[in-house]
Amino acid sequence: MTSVDYTELAQTIRSLTHGETDEVALMATLACEIHHADARFDWTGFYRVTEPELLKIGPYQGGHGCLVIPFARGVCGAAARTRETQLVPDVDAFPGHIACASSTRSELVIPVFAANERLIGVLDIDSNQPDAFTQEDADRLQEILDETFGRH
């Protein structure tokens, strides 16, 4: 199912972001590159930790996203709260799912860490297809995020 060439995607992102340290600029570049890497990716973006237990919309590609998501709600909140990737094959079966877009059928949310394991946000990818994401998607995107944002 995975049609992304993650090696090529990582090289492209590395080339585009070389020397950049601004987190929002990095998020904008990654959202664009990841979103256009695969037709399964219907909405691709970041929610940033802006205050304790709160995520706010960051750079994204696709339709409108939710503006604010508490750590206590939804798939993005669960990823931020637990600091663990959420791979959700059917959003309707996820307790407390927040439907920012009614077309979303499945979701992949990966926590984003900077140096010293500081949580700076989550990468949220929605698909209008059920069960669209694989563990390979999660693992390879986590590698790209860790490299880009300097997680050690």
User: Measuring CA to CA, which residue among 9, 39, 35, 14 is closest to residue 125?
Assistant: 35
**Residue 144 belongs to a domain:** yes
Scan for tokens 């390879």, then name that residue. Answer: 140
Task: Give the number of domains in the chain.
Answer: 1
Prediction pTM value: 0.95
Cross-sheet strand order for the sheet of 119-127 = 68-70, 54-61, 43-51, 119-127, 106-113, 86-88
Give CA torsion, residues 91, 94, 96, 102, to 10 deg: 10
**Residue 105 belongs to a domain:** yes
Nearest-angstrom CA–CA distance, 42 and 103:
9
User: Measuring CA to CA, which residue among 53, 31, 1 is closest to residue 148?
Assistant: 31
More reliable by pLDDT, 93 or 139: 139
Query: Among 61-75, 93-107, 116-130, 135-149, where is mean pLDDT lowest?
Result: 93-107
Average pLDDT of the residues in 103-129 = 95
Nearest-angstrom CA–CA distance, 121 and 56:
9
- 120-136 pLDDT, tens digit each: 999 999 999 999 999 99
- 6-50 pLDDT, tens digit each: 999 999 999 999 999 999 999 999 999 999 999 999 999 999 999
Domain of residue 97 covers 6-149
Residue 122's CATH number: 3.30.450.40
Give the 3-state secondary structure of residue 20: coil
**Residue 92 belongs to a domain:** yes
**Residue 107 belongs to a domain:** yes
**Residue 108 belongs to a domain:** yes
**Residue 1 belongs to a domain:** no
Largest CA-CA distance found in the chain, in angstroms, rounded: 41
**Residue 31 belongs to a domain:** yes
